[in-house]
Structure 1
Amino acid sequence: MASGICQLHIFFFPFLAHGHMIPTVDMAKLFTTRGVKASVITTPGNAPHLSRSIQKASELGIELDVKIIKFPSAEAGLPEGWENLDAITNEVNRELIVKFYMATTKLQKPLEQLLQEHKPDCLVADMLFPWATDAAAKFGIPRLVFHGTSFFSLCAIKCLALYEPHKKVSSDSEPFVMPNLPGEIKLTRNQLPDPAKHDMGDNDFSRFMKAADDSDLRSYGVVEGFGKEGMAYRPCFLMQ
């Protein structure tokens, strides 16, 4: 690195579930190969899940830093040590799942303490941390929203929300065309996830997801993950 040029430092904060942590760590590795210092934020219970991937990266000369913050299990009414969503979804307990999502909102203060202490140049935080946009703004740090899905999938979800073509068919098996997307893409209600098929009403979880949508719009941009096992996820920036 040329003398006098500061190394960019980016914080990566994946949601606490394997399907979010794995692509985020892959992305952090990709950034380090471009000369960026990368720090991954997680909790004590999730750190062991990252250790193998980080060790393998280190053997390849890719150094990732890990920052640990406490997960508020007791405050959220969760069993001690339940710090990963996968452990809860295996129990098929909706009440615990909602408690878990609500518990993650209590991570804002420890995140802000890290941002204040280390002053990174950018924060890449999962879409399920909507409060991260406000946390980064307090310290003048741009926040990028990480979506583990593809850009095409996000467009499809947005089309469903805006135009509601699934509400204009008479049955769950009747095909409908996705509006304003290239080609004639047909789906049925049976192929949609439950939150897309049904009105979630006004509750803690629906408000949480609404906050996530709003946070996307207020963030510096979005970075997408797409690829296949064994390949690095490629970032795609959508700046406003």
Structure 2
Amino acid sequence: MLVQPLEELLKEYRPNCLVADTFFPWSTGVASKLGIPRIVFSGTCFFSSCASQCMRLYQPYKKVSSDTDPFIIPNFPGQIKLTRKQLPDFVKEETSFAEFYEQVKEAELKSFGVLVNSFYELEPTYADHFRKVLGAKAWHIGPICLCNSNIEDKAKRGKEASIDENQCLKWLIQRNTTRFRTAIHLGVRKNKNDVRDNEVWLPEGFEERIEGKGLIIRGWAPQVLILEHEAVGGFVTHCGWNSTLEAISAGVPMVTWPVSAEQFYNEKLVTQVLGIGVAVGAQQWARVVDDSVKKEAIKKAVTHLMASEEAEEMRFRAKKLGEMARKAIEVGDHLILILIP
């Protein structure tokens, strides 16, 4: 429905290029018709983009005998292993989304190039692979989350927070010296209004999934501000790329709990390539969180991240990556595109 309005807009303003999200594949045709280069904005990293493209080209999941047999992603650096269970359903099957996904990838290949919310020092091998082996033009322009240092804007990043940022930061300041190694009681209550000062409200059904040390926030929170606070020693994440890159930029190691989209690819980058995360052991790609991950696995992963022999080394690596991320957004390191009507 946006094809005609976009075409009229481009005819009127004649921009030098069009930057469109990866999920608007039809925009490539509109831009091409008017002789305007379309640049794709990718919502993930080079690693996952390369992995998904290799999966699409070589289909290694068809060569294993079961859903749980591991296979190595072919023509891909790092000997990264996955199972069929960890792949998106639209990759393995002819779903309603599968055809659209093909259109997305074809339009990306026909576009002028790709903007990636990442920085070269984070994944140089995969940035080079994307350009030199897969033959795609690409520019790294991230971490975008660091481009605005205004505290008020950081608090409003993403969906509107359901928890007051001042309340969160006050709680963190009070526990700054413990670096979250003091056990926090996680109160499971039916009504969030009944939660006491040292408790966190968890939704019904989470009793079997969450236990351990730290703070778990129910609802939308000012994530960037929380991750940047010096009291935070670790982050349990579903491995969506925005959250993953925000943690990397803040120098915070992660407990990885992928669910859907390209999150299982992102987990491999965090745990195997960068060495700044511990997996809870999620094995099943799903559109919603299921109950396959138990509280014992989460407790084990959190304890390993916070108190194991490898914990200090992971924190050191995460801190170094955070420093690289901040350096990457300095003036002169980026291609900056400004579209002015």
Calculate the TM-score normalised by the size of structure 2. Answer: 0.35
Calculate the TM-score normalised by the size of structure 1. Answer: 0.48
Relative contact order (C-alpha < 8 Å, sep 6+): which is higher? 1
* Larger CA Rg, structure 1 vs 2: 2
Larger strand proportion, structure 1 or 2? Answer: 1
